[in-house]
Amino acid sequence: MKKSLRVLSLLIGLLAVFYFAVPSQSSVGSLDRIKERGLLLWGSDAEGGAPYVFPDPEHPDTLIGFEVDIADAIAREFGVNARQVQNAWDSLIPALERGDFDIAMNGIEITPQREAKIFFSIPYYVYTEQLAVGKDETRISDINDLSGMKVGTLSGAVAQDILMELGGVDVRTYSGQAEPYEDLALGRLDAVLLDLPIAAYYAKPNPKLKYAGPPVGEGFYGIAIRKEDENLKRAIDEAIGTLLETGELKRIYEKWDMWNETQEKLYLYAKGYERGVTLEEAKQAPIWRFFPMLLKGAGITILISVFSMALAIVLGLVLTLMRMYGRPPLSAVATSYIELYRGTPLLIQLYILYYGLPNVGIALSPIVAAFLGLGMNYAAYEAELYRAGISAIPKGQTEAALSLGMTQGTTLRRVILPQALRIALPGVTNDFIALFKDSSLVSIIAMVELTKTYNILAATTLRFFELGLIVAFLYLAMSYPLSLLARSLEERLKGKKR
């Protein structure tokens, strides 16, 4: 008993460390706070990939990309360091609003809809949309030939709106930018319309793909800033202006092979030349280079799973006791909880917990939201397992205990639960393994665990197969010992009864 208490308090302590390590809403804000902190936190999605923000194939635990360079340059202007905060691309704006980082910069197109919610800096890049098709495509020569075609694009991107407005196009949306080009190369799509820098990284070097027609739909990328941070917006605008004047920005774009005449509209000076990483190089990086990053992801997966399961086991028991032994208001609460959590998707529960609660003033850090989300969901399932276990104990056991003068509490603790938990144990260990795999869902709330790490690396290198096998093996290597442990635990309990 004492030992398990010690372990529990250790776990809670660890959680607390993680909780405080993540910036809370109050510490994020104006320029003064950034300077005080010495850090500019900028949100982006490394899964979005090259050439924006992606892991360096040489050193996968560091991020590179033209936006990394821009963020560093802006931070330098402020006299601070830049730190990337990982967040899914389609929820960058809500995450910015809830205060997860100071600014969001990730190829976010300046649109009136977005400007209604947040500030944009002056543009830092002029993008165009580029249509890409298969090498042997003859039907499609430009954007006007897309009627009835399957066309892939990024969910929530301006390219999606352009396709929608064309009408008659079978639009397929993706959450990552590597996947549409993969599907195009495999013939699952007829064309892909995406921002030129993306096409330049993924489509241009691919011999199976080619560009169709000239770039269309000129627009601007801007840095997103919260509405209440007006002084920060001014400072960012000023910094971009300086980078333009010094030619720093152009150097960055040239390094990434993104410079074109269109950019002349914004940038005046050009000097020097430095080449960025190409897809070919990313594809050829030795696989072992990604191991440290994958192992780190696996560590996060284990951490989340163990904490969440501990919560589920304890909370599940409380729920069962409330449901089976509580008076009507309590038992009704427990029953509703169980039905609600079993009857709604975990994904929705995570979204509400992480993006919904800030609307009512509760901003949880990603790790706490992941821990609570998984734990509270699985608690409902554990509760039902315990209930089945308790129901399986013959009534005579309770009667015998009561007839010996035991109170209901003692009866439960000493007679019913020890037998019921033994019955529930196989189900609980089974759930632990299931939770372990379900933990990949928390990647949607900005937790970079094993699956998310895989997504990011695979999107950059397109090595979905070999990295996929490695990740699958890592999951198996973690869950199989768990199965063995569960089996030996069951054997031991059976042995004790015998």
Q: How far apart are CA 68 and CA 150, in angstroms?
A: 33
Specify the 3-state DSSP secondary structure of 286: coil
* Closer Cβ to another protein, 204 or 422, answer by number: 422
Number of residues that bind another protein (CB under 8 A): 23
Q: Which of 21, 28, 213, 44 is nearest to 131 (CA)?
A: 213
Q: How far is the CB of 380 from another protein (least distance, A)?
A: 25
Taking the CA atoms of 43, 45, 51 and 55 in sequence, report the sign of the dihedral they define: positive
Of 61, 142, 399, 466, the one binding another protein by CB under 8 A = 399
Stretch of 4-12, 172-180, 190-198, 391-399 contacting another protein, by CB under 8 A: 391-399
What burial letters (b/e) apply to 241-266, b meaning 16+ CB within 10 Å?
eebbeebbbbbbbbbbbbbeeebeeb
50's torsion region: left (phi>0), alpha (psi -120 to 50) or beta?
beta
Tell me which residues in 319-358 interact with another protein (CB under 8 A): 327
Q: What is the DSSP letter of 263?
A: G
Q: How far is the CB of 482 from another protein (least distance, A)?
A: 25
Residue type, 126: V
Of 246, 335, 419, 483, the one binding another protein by CB under 8 A = 419
* Closer Cβ to another protein, 327 or 492, answer by number: 327
Of 344, 407, 468, 487, the one binding another protein by CB under 8 A = 407
* 308 burial type by CB count under 10 A (0-12 exposed, 13-18 middle, 19+ buried): buried
Q: How many CB atoms lie within 10 A of CB 22?
A: 15
Specify the 3-state DSSP secondary structure of 483: helix
By CB under 8 A, residue 422 contacts another protein: yes
Interface mask (CB under 8 A) for another protein, residues 279-318, using x and -? ----------------------------------------
Q: How far apart are CA 123 and CA 126, in angstroms?
A: 7
Q: How far apart are CA 103 and CA 41, in angstroms?
A: 7
Q: How far is the CB of 486 from another protein (least distance, A)?
A: 19
In the structure encoding, which two tokens stand for residue 495, read together?
A: 């042995």
Tell me which residues in 224-253 interact with another protein (CB under 8 A): none
Q: How far is the CB of 58 from another protein (least distance, A)?
A: 59
Of 414, 472, 480, 488, the one binding another protein by CB under 8 A = 414
Q: How far is the CB of 415 from another protein (least distance, A)?
A: 6
Q: How far is the CB of 402 from another protein (least distance, A)?
A: 6
Residue 259: φ, ψ to 5°: -75, 135
Stretch of 18-26, 175-183, 262-270, 412-420 contacting another protein, by CB under 8 A: 412-420
By CB under 8 A, residue 406 contacts another protein: yes
In the complex, which residues of this chain contact another protein (CB under 8 A)?
327, 394, 396-397, 399-408, 410, 414-415, 418-419, 422, 496-498
